[in-house]
Amino acid sequence: MPAKKNKVDSATMTGAALVKETCRRLRVARNRWKDHNNAACRNEREKALALYERLSAEERANVPQELRVWLRYRSEKYFGPDRTPPGTPGTNR
């Protein structure tokens, strides 16, 4: 029988655990991006962004700069509000 996975409740996380989970989700989103799996990347990015917004300024400094840059620039360029939402008909190029 496989081992049971511990479910992480991100709503109650604080401090170092919240920073760690934010970094994990950002890494997963970035890997989905590299794999060209945009739907999965978008979902992970939204979850990571929600966690990132809960961090204080000191905690945000603990997130590696590489992940912060990806979240801020790369993902906004491709997933920002000015982009066409996924599943919109008639947007084939």
pLDDT of res. 12: 75
Best CA proximity match to 28, nearest among 50, 48, 13: 48
Our separate counts of H helices and E strands in the chain read 5, 0
pLDDT of res. 89: 67
Q: Average pLDDT, stretch 30-49? A: 89
Q: What is the pTM of this model?
A: 0.74
CA 29, CA 12: separation in Å to the nearest integer? 22
Domains of the chain: which residue ranges?
A: 15-79
CA 56, CA 75: separation in Å to the nearest integer? 21
Q: Is the pLDDT of residue 54 over 90?
A: yes
Q: Note the pLDDT tens digit of each residue in 7-39.
A: 666 677 788 899 999 999 999 999 998 998 888
pLDDT of res. 31: 93
pLDDT of res. 51: 93
